[in-house]
Amino acid sequence: MESTHNATVPPRNIQPPNPNAPFKEVDVATPSSSIRSTAELDGSGQEPNGTEEEEENSRTVAADEPSAPGAQDENIPQRSKLKIAVIMFSLAVAVLLAALDITIVTTALPTIAEEFNSASGYTWVGSAYLIAQAASTPIWGKVSDIFGRKPILLVANAIFFVGSLLAGVSVNMDMLIAARAIQGIGGGGLITLANITISDLFTMRDRGAYFAIIGGVWALASSLGPVIGGLFTQKVSWRWCFYINLPLDGLAFIIILFFLDVKTPKTPLRKGLKAVDWLGSFTMVGGTIMLLLGLEFGGITHPWDSATVLCLIIFGVVTIGIFFLVEWRVAPYPLMPLDLFSKRSNLAALGACFLHAFVFISGSYFLPLYFQAVLGATPILSGVYVLPTALAISFLSAFTGIFIKKTGQYLPLIWFGMLMMTLGFGLFINLDENSSWAKIIIFQIIAGIGVGPNFQAPLIALQSLVPKRDIATATATFGFTRNLGSAISVVVGSVIFNNEMKSKQSQLVATLGPQTASSFGGGSAGASVGLIQSLPNEQKAVARKAFAEALSTMWIVYVAFAGVAIVTSLMITRNKLDKQHQETKTGIEAEKEKRAERVAERAERKRKRASRSSLPLDTEAQNSTPVVEAEKETKV
C-alpha cells in the first residue's frame, strides 16, 4: 500500500513554494523522510487546534493529497471503459457465486439429507460455508498486501472452483461438508478481494459506484439463491447447485488473468510466507471457529449451559483476545493493525457495519420462514416473495454509488439508510396470518430502501478515514465484521423465536394435542414448518398464529438493534473523498514502509500526549524523533 507522502518528486521538478499552502516537509536526501511527513503537516510548527482524532484525520487527508492540484500517479495504466466493464464483470461474477452459495443450498438440504441418509449433517452443509468464510476473511487482505492482489484473487478463485467441484461429486455427507468449508474459504477471498481490488482501481470518489454494483449483485444473489437451488433440485439434481459455479468461476478466472492490470510485486514465495502473520492467523481463525461453533451448537445440538457450548464460546472469546494481543505486541506485519480501532469514527463505521449486517440478515433468514409457516408458501415461492426486498436493495445500492460519486457525501446516505431500515423492520412487527400482499410488499420495499445504502457507504467512510496503506486490511476487517454480525444475528433471532414458540406450548397443546404441539416447541419449530400444511384448518390457524406472534416478538429485538445502529452512525465523521488516484504499493518493501510509518506516528502521538499533560519528558524522549523511533523499531 502506498505511504502518505508519495507525492515526493525529483529535485529538477520541484516547484517554487507557495507561502499560503500547508507545509509538508520532505527531506529528499533522507531515506526516512517518508515517515516524517505525516507528523509535520502544519507549516506553522504549532499543533493544530481540535481533538487528537480531528488532527489525525486532517493529517491523513493532507498527506494523501498529491503535491500539485490534479496530480495523478503517472504509473497508473489508463483503462478504457470497455476494459473497466470487463474487469467489473469478472469481479461481479465472482461475488455473485460466493453470495449465491450462502443460500442456494437451503431448498436443496432436505433432498441432500435424504440421499445421504444423514439428518445430523443437515445444518452443517450451510454452516460449514459460513464459518469458513467468516474465519478466513481477515487473512485475505494481508496476504494480498504481501503477494499482490491479482495472484491472490486467482488463488481464491481456484480454491472456490475446487470446493465447488468436490461438493458436486460428493459421495457422502462428510465429503460434502468438507467441500463446503473449502468453498467458504474461497468465497471469503472472492468477496473481500473484489472490494480491495475496486479500491485499488478507482479513486475514493468514484469507487462508491463500483461498490454499488457489488452490493446489488450480492443482494440479488442472496435472494435468488433459494429459488435457483429449488429449481435445480426439482428439475435436474441438487449437485447442479455446485456444478453451476464451475463454468462461471472459470470465466471469471480467465478474465482476471488476462485483463486485471494492477501492479504485482515479485515477492519470493519463501520470503512472503515468512512475512505472513501466522500466529495472528491461527488465533483469529481458531477463535472465530470456536465462537461460531459454540453459537451454532447452542440450543440445537447441545443446551446453552452445557460444557461443550460454554467452553467453545469462552475459549473462542479468549483466543480472539490473544489475537489482538499478538497484533499489538508481536506481529511485525499484523492482519489487523490496532490503529484501525484507535479512533472513534473508525469504530463507529465498523459498528454500523456489524449492526447493519445483524439486522439485514434477519430479513433474508426469517422472512422466508414467515412466508412458509404463516402464509403456507412453498420453499421456492418463499424465495420469490422476498424479491421486493432484493430489488429495493439493488436500486438503492446503485443510487448510493451515483450519489457519492456526484456529491462526495456519504453521511446523509448512512443516516437515511439506518432510519429507513429501522422503520421497515419495525413495520414487520405488524405482519400476521391475515396481512395483505400490498402491506407485505410495501413493508419489504421500505426495509430494502433502508438496507441498500449501507452495503457500501460505511465502507467508503472507513476507507476515507484510514491511511491509504491500511485500506486493504481495513476492507478485510470490514468484511469480517459483516460476516460476524450475520452469524451472530441468526443465532440471536433463532433463540428468541424458539423461546417464544416454547412459551406458546400451553395454547398449542390445547388445540393440537401434546404430541403435535411438541413438534413446534423449542428448537424443532423451524424444522417442522412442513407439518403445518397437513393439519386440519382449525389447528392450522392456531399454529400459524403462534408462528406469526413469535416472529413479531423477534422483530422487536431487531428493531432495537437498528435503533442502536442509528446512534452508532451519528458518530461517523465527515471526510473529504479524493478525486485523485495513486497506485497502491504491495510487497515486502511496502510492508516495511508501513511498519515504519506506524511506529513514527505512534512516537509522535506519545510526544503530543506528554506535551499536553505538561509532564517533563525523559532525556531520551526529548532527544528522539519519530524517525529515530521508527528506525529503531524497524531494526528490531
Total tally of structural domains belonging to the chain: 2
End of a domain among 545, 569, 593? 569
pLDDT, tens digit, 9 for 90 and up, residues 74-98: 556 677 889 999 999 999 999 999 9
- 308 with 379, same domain? no
Q: How far apart are CA 493 and CA 243, in angstroms?
A: 32
pLDDT, tens digit, 9 for 90 and up, residues 420-477: 999 999 999 999 999 999 999 999 999 999 999 998 899 999 999 988 888 888 999 9
> Domain span at residue 289?
278-331
- 227 with 349, same domain? yes
Q: How many CB atoms lie within 10 A of CB 202?
A: 19
Average pLDDT over residues 124-141: 87
pLDDT, tens digit, 9 for 90 and up, residues 377-392: 887 888 789 889 989 9
Place of cell 478481494: 193
- 291 with 424, same domain? no
End of a domain among 569, 600, 621? 569
Residues with Cβ within 8 Å of residue 550, at least 6 apart in sequence: 497, 500, 501, 504, 525
- 316 with 455, same domain? no
33: in domain: no
The strand pairing partners of 298, in sequence order, are: 302
The strand pairing partners of 211, in sequence order, are: none
pLDDT, tens digit, 9 for 90 and up, residues 482-529: 988 988 888 888 888 888 888 888 888 888 888 888 878 766 676 677
- 439 with 414, same domain? yes
pLDDT, tens digit, 9 for 90 and up, residues 206-226: 888 898 888 888 888 877 888
Say which CATH number the domain at 235 has.
1.20.1250.20
- 222 with 298, same domain? no
- 254 with 284, same domain? no
Is pLDDT at 560 greater than 80 in this prediction? yes
Is pLDDT at 532 greater than 90 in this prediction? no
Q: How far apart are CA 368 and CA 106, in angstroms?
A: 11
297: in domain: yes
End of a domain among 514, 544, 569? 569
- Percent over 90 (pLDDT), the chain: 38
Q: How many CB atoms lie within 10 A of CB 530?
A: 12
361: in domain: yes
Q: How many CB atoms lie within 10 A of CB 119?
A: 12
What are the distances in angstroms from CA 236 to CA 239, 244, 246, 365? 8, 12, 16, 25
- 339 with 327, same domain? no
pLDDT, tens digit, 9 for 90 and up, residues 93-115: 999 999 999 888 877 877 888 78
- 344 with 327, same domain? no
Is the dihedral angle over the CA atoms 42, 344, 573, 194 positive or is it negative? positive
HEC-encoded secondary structure of 292-326: HHHHHHECCCECCCCHHHHHHHHHHHHHHHHHHHH
- 144 with 293, same domain? no
548: in domain: no
71: in domain: no
What are the distances in angstroms from CA 575 to CA 243, 384, 400, 464? 45, 40, 17, 6
- 324 with 336, same domain? no
- 309 with 261, same domain? no
358: in domain: yes
Three-state SS for 581?
A: coil
Is pLDDT at 253 greater than 60 in this prediction? yes
